[in-house]
Amino acid sequence: FRGCSGGSTPSTAPPRLLTAVRLNYTPALTTEPPLGGQKTASTFVLDQPRCVFDDYGNADIWLVVALDRATSTFNNTTRPGTPETAFQSFPDPVHAYMTLNTTLVNYPCPRPAGDITVLRVGSETSCAQDVARPTCNGPLPGPGPYRVKFLALEGSVPVAETKWSLPITLTEAKSPNTISTTRSGHSAGMIAITTILSILFAILLAGLVAMLISDSCSGSSTFSKPESVTVRRYNTHHVYDQPAARL
């Protein structure tokens, strides 16, 4: 039915964004001593969201990793495993990817004794370049900063989400060209020890030289030319046989 004033076409309403329940939980770096350290140049370790999604037993729980500047533009309705959320295109043109999906059974509450309750983000190297694995938990491409949140999806519908974490900046490895080789790079204690040893060596060397000079002066002697020895020559007398007396 067209109104009498017709001529104008009805405007198309913008798609309604699905909103998820915002949970009072903020992901954070673990305070437990995980193997390999809390942060490296390409990974960081989070606490698992235990006792957070207990009311969403049918949901898949995803970790969203985003650039710090991209958190305000991330759309919860973007589906995981698509080119828009693929790790292999992060951080450009994709500014946030989805990974480490699991179900509530892997986040039991309360925590059983002896359970490992951390997640290492960036630990998978085998799928980092595999476009067939868009949800790869691959090494992070730079120091960041990054921010993360957990998102529960029932099918493709977002039903619950945590708050975004505080910015996470990874460890940066020092370039060999930036390492100082001058004395200023050494500690004051080492400089003092080196100076003392140099002074002691100089004193020892001076004492050794003085001792050699003293020994040389006290042990010198005057050598005189030995008198020539004259050997007198003696001529032996010849002994002649006397002729026999004549009879």
Question: 150 and 21 in contact (C-beta within 8 Å)?
Answer: no
Q: Report the mean per-residue pLDDT for the chain.
A: 81
Pairing of strands 60-67, 44-47: unpaired
SS3 breakdown of the chain: % helix, strand, coil, rounded to 5?
20, 15, 60
Q: What's the confidence (pLDDT) of residue 4? A: 40
- Looking at residue 15, its pLDDT comes to 45
Lowest mean pLDDT among 61-75, 147-161, 178-192: 178-192
More confident residue, 16 or 74: 74
What average pLDDT score do residues 3-21 get?
A: 53
Percent of the chain with pLDDT over 90: 55
Question: Quick one: CA torsion of 211, 212, 218, 219, rounded to 10 degrees?
Answer: 140
Higher local confidence (pLDDT), 202 or 192: 202
pLDDT band at 112 (very low <50, low <70, confident <90, very high): confident
Residue with tokens 């067939």: 132
Name the pTM for this structure: 0.65
Cis peptide before 108 (omega within 30 of 0): no
With cut-offs at 50, 70 and 90, classify the pLDDT of residue 10. very low
Q: What integer pLDDT is reported at residue 213 of this predicted model?
A: 76
**51 or 183, higher pLDDT:** 51
pLDDT at residue 32, rounded to an integer:
82
Q: What is the pLDDT of residue 138?
A: 97
Average pLDDT over residues 91-109: 95
Q: Is 77 helix (H, G, I), strand (E, B) or coil?
A: coil
Q: What is the mean pLDDT of residues 125-137?
A: 96
- Mean per-residue pLDDT, 21-33: 93
